[in-house]
């Protein structure tokens, strides 16, 4: 019996590709990494030759052939504008080096390919936009690849790539079960919904609490909650603001009385409830975590009233993330 179309969030698709670049799991063969590609950054804002702004999901470089790939991931039938495709196809190598802050052997001869990794739900729209742009021959300057990601096979549908070895690899097909890849490699991104962000933040705060840390900063939380933080430099300010806002909401709602802001600061907090091996305290944390994320998934803004009787509620049968520390 054949399986239905692969369904992933944008973040999960990006996470899977990162694993194919960086490896890190014994069960994962880093196909792109083995071909010589190195991850340079995620969500890097760029400006194309006509002044239009766009943000590639992934930037990788293969230094031995002086080539970068601007990778865009499309997981669903959201709108794909021809202007976005045009930006990818006309971005000059010298500008990618400058705007991506790359170190390469020769900036003036650096090449760029535009590569679209798509799920079946997005393929038709992306292909239509690509075909429309390619019809204007003057718009194309870079190599191009349109790559379909299925459950058990990843293969190229449009091959105008500059890298012959990458082209040959994709023509043969990558026989990878995509859902077996570490799809949480990127725990959150700038566009992640609040509940996605909260899940990672609360897991991190839980670790801090169990480690008996006396205090923590917004930088501590960002760095420890996202293992790819160093690859998101252009998004740090935005993510710090979101994290700071959520921590302040947590301290006034779900975790009121658990931690407080350090006097005279805007991005440092201290635990006011002492960590303990007492099971009741650990269960209390778990209840608050579950309720807070559930409210966000229901598109509700958590308030103090939502947690007034939280300790009288039964313990949830399921939890979000790894609760091993509470067993």
Model pLDDT, residue 326: 37
Query: Domain span at residue 102?
Result: 10-180
Q: CA Rg, the chain, in Å?
A: 22
Q: Among 133, 148, 180, which residue terminates a domain? A: 180
Query: The domain spanning residue 100 has which CATH number?
Result: 3.40.1350
Model pLDDT, residue 276: 73
Question: Are residues 134 and 210 located together in one domain of the fold?
Answer: no
Question: Are residues 176 and 267 located together in one domain of the fold?
Answer: no
Nearest to 260 by CA among 249, 250, 244, 272: 272
Q: Among 124, 150, 180, which residue terminates a domain? A: 180
Nearest to 229 by CA among 215, 216, 243, 248: 243
* Alpha carbon separation from 148 to 23, 39, 119, 168 (Å, rounded): 21, 21, 6, 15
Calculate the CA dihedral of residues 137, 142, 145, 146 and round it to 10 degrees.
-50
Model pLDDT, residue 24: 72
User: What total of structural domains would you count in the chain?
Assistant: 2
Chain mean position to CA 89: 23
Question: Are residues 97 and 31 located together in one domain of the fold?
Answer: yes
Question: Are residues 278 and 212 located together in one domain of the fold?
Answer: yes
Contacts of 191 (CB under 8 A, 6+ apart): 10
Question: Are residues 210 and 307 located together in one domain of the fold?
Answer: yes
Question: Are residues 48 and 135 located together in one domain of the fold?
Answer: yes
Model pLDDT, residue 321: 52
**Ordered per-residue pLDDT tens for the chain, 327 residues:** 456 789 999 999 999 999 999 987 666 789 999 999 999 999 999 999 999 999 999 999 999 999 999 999 999 887 788 999 999 999 999 999 999 999 999 999 999 999 999 999 999 999 999 999 888 766 567 899 999 999 999 999 999 999 999 999 999 999 999 999 999 999 999 999 999 999 999 999 999 998 999 999 999 999 999 999 999 999 999 999 999 999 999 999 999 999 999 999 999 999 998 877 678 888 899 999 999 999 999 999 999 999 998 887 666 655 555 443 333
- The answer as to whether 2 is a domain residue is no
- SS3 readout for the chain: CCCCCCCCCHHHHHHHHHHHHHCCCCCCCCHHHHCCCEEEEECCCEECCCCCEECCCEEEEEHHHCEEEEEEEECCCCCCCHHHHHHHHHCCHHHHHHHCCCCCCCCCCCEEEEEEEECHHHHHHHHHHHHHHHCCHHHCCCEEEEEEECCCCEEEEEEECCCHHHHHHHHHCECCCHHHCCCCCCCCCCCCCHHHHHHHHHHHHHHHHHCCCCEEEHHHHHHHHCCCHHHCHHHHHHHHHHHHHHHHHHHHCCCCCCEEECCCCCCEEEECCCCCCCHHHHHHHHHHHHHHHHHHHCCCCCCHHHHCCHHHCCCCCCCCCCCHHHC
- Distance, in Å, from the CA atom of 103 to the CA atom of 313, rounded to the nearest integer, reads 56
Question: Are residues 288 and 200 located together in one domain of the fold?
Answer: yes
Question: Are residues 33 and 175 located together in one domain of the fold?
Answer: yes
Say if residue 251 is exposed, middle or buried (CB neighbours under 10 Å; 0-12, 13-18, 19+).
middle
Model pLDDT, residue 159: 97
Calculate the CA dihedral of residues 33, 35, 38, 39 and round it to 10 degrees.
-60
Question: Are residues 170 and 216 located together in one domain of the fold?
Answer: no
């Amino acid at each position: 019996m054949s399986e239905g179309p692969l369904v992933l969030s944008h973040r999960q698709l990006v996470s899977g590709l990162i694993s194919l670049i960086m490896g890190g799991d014994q069960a994962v063969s880093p196909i792109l990494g083995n071909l010589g590609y190195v991850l340079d950054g995620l969500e890097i804002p760029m400006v194309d030759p006509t002044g239009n702004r766009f943000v590639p999901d992934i930037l990788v470089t293969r230094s031995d052939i002086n080539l970068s790939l601007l990778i865009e991931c499309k997981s669903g039938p959201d709108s794909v504008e021809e202007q976005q495709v045009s930006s990818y196809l006309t971005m000059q190598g010298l500008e990618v080096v400058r705007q991506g802050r790359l170190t390469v052997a020769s900036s003036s001869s650096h090449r760029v390919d535009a590569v679209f990794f798509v799920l079946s739900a997005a393929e038709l729209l992306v292909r239509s936009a690509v075909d429309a742009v390619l019809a204007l021959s003057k718009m194309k300057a870079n190599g191009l690849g349109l790559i379909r990601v299925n459950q058990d096979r990843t293969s190229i549908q449009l091959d105008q790539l500059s890298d012959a070895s990458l082209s040959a690899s994709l023509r043969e097909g990558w026989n990878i079960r995509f859902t077996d890849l570490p799809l949480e490699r990127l725990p959150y991104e700038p566009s992640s919904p609040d509940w996605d962000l909260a899940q990672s933040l609360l897991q991190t705060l839980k670790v801090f609490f169990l480690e008996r840390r006396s205090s923590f900063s917004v930088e501590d939380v960002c760095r420890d909650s996202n293992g790819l933080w160093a690859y998101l430099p252009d998004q740090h300010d935005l993510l710090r603001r979101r994290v700071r806002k959520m921590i302040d909401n947590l301290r006034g709602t779900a975790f009121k009385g658990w931690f407080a802001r350090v006097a005279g600061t805007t991005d440092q907090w201290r635990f006011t409830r002492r960590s303990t091996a007492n099971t009741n305290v650990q269960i209390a944390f778990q209840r608050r975590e579950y309720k807070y994320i559930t409210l966000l998934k229901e598109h509700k803004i958590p308030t103090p009233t939502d947690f007034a009787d939280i300790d009288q509620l039964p313990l949830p049968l399921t939890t979000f993330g790894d609760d091993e520390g509470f067993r």
